[in-house]
Structure formats: structure tokens, C-alpha cells
Amino acid sequence: PQGSEEAKAFVHAFLKRSMPKMKAEAIQEMLTRKAVVLEHYPKKKTKQKRKKTKGFTAKQRRELRLFEIEPEQQRYAIFLPLHELWKQYIRDLCHGLKPDAQPHMIQGKLLKADLHGAIVTVTKSKCPSYVGITGIILQEFKHVFKIITKEDKLKVVPKLNNVFSLELDGFISYIYGSKFLLRASERSAKKFKLKGTIDL
């Protein structure tokens, strides 16, 4: 067929261009005796280093005011639904807070629980002005709680040297702030010792 003749002519012309140092007889011998393998050398791909996504620095967070609550949002009534959600979350976490539940088991779960939305009261403090502050925890940081009171005032209460009480369905739990100097995310993975010295 005419197509095969064209293909044969193309192959001969291609080989002459590709191997100019070889004679036509040598090329013909190669075609009759051996299979021609056209090698391909792919370029080595350089691995691109993945850039880690960096979060904001503490300075940038302050400048952007990411964690600040606007004055018009500082109202106790706004966060009552958050408290109701928190109560349901704790009931589910503690399997209903039944009367026959062991207090130390509940205490252990509360130590690792998320406290955003909990109503707490400062019961003891080395600074008397903090005693009696009651409100919903809006934000928890490593060293402080931000609490909104019924008077719609946002209080920043340090954990250090303060004891907080937490009441839910008749269970009262005490949080010793000096032993609680952790972020919420770190607290969930920490193993707390049941015995130890308790002080302010």
C-alpha cells in the first residue's frame, strides 16, 4: 500500500537525520535485525518545598482585634443561649448527670471540658475585689477568663490565685485557677492528678 511506502521512507529519512555518522547499510542492517528503541530521558523534577501556612502572630492578632468583643455585643442576654448549649453539652459529656454518678468522675470530665458558655462564680481570691463576680465565660485564655456579668459588664479575671465555682443540675464543682493555667485546647489532652496540694 502507498501508506506503508510513505512510512518506510519517513523512517529511513528520520534515522539518517538522527544518526548521521552511520552509513545507510548499517542503518538498514539495524532495521532488519534489531528493534529500534527510541529512548526518552525525562527531566528531573525538582521537589518544591511546601510552604507552611503561618498563622497570625500575637502582635497581628492584637492589631486586627480578633478576640475583642465589641461594646454593643457585651450584653448578658445575648449569651444566654450559649449557656443553654453548654449545659446540654455537659449533660451529654457526663451521660446525663445522674444522682448516682460519682463526683470525681464528673470532676475529671469537667477539667477537660470546654468552658465557653459556663456560668462561674469567683468564690475565693487573694484579691477581695474579685470575690463574688458571677457571669458567663465568653473567652478562656491561658491565664485569664473573660466573663460577662448580669450587669452587662465584661470582666477579665485572672486564673492565678482565684477559685471558681461551677453549678449544674445540683452538682457544684470548684476550679482552682492556679492549677488551671492552660489553654482550652491544651487542657483537653492533659492528664490531671487526682491528688496534690490545693492552694490559691
Chain-centroid distance, C-alpha 196: 31
Beta strands in the chain (DSSP E): 119-125, 134-140, 144-148, 154-158, 162-168, 171-176
What number of residues does the chain have?
200
- The per-residue pLDDT string of the chain (200 residues; one tens digit each, 9 = 90 and over) reads 556 778 778 877 877 777 666 677 776 776 666 555 555 556 777 777 777 667 788 788 778 877 788 888 899 999 999 999 999 998 888 877 776 777 777 778 888 889 999 999 999 999 999 999 999 999 998 899 999 999 999 999 999 999 999 988 888 888 888 888 888 888 777 776 655 555 66
| Cβ atoms of 137 and 147 closer than 8 Å | yes
**Backbone CA torsion sign across 90, 85, 157, 142:** positive
> 76-189: which CATH topology?
SH3 type barrels. (2.30.30)
Is this prediction's pTM over 0.85? no
**If residue 183 lies in a helix (H) or strand (E), which one and from where to where?**
none
Parse the chain into domains and list their residue ranges: 76-189
Angle at CA 110, nearest 5°, toward 134 and 140? Answer: 55
DSSP 192: P
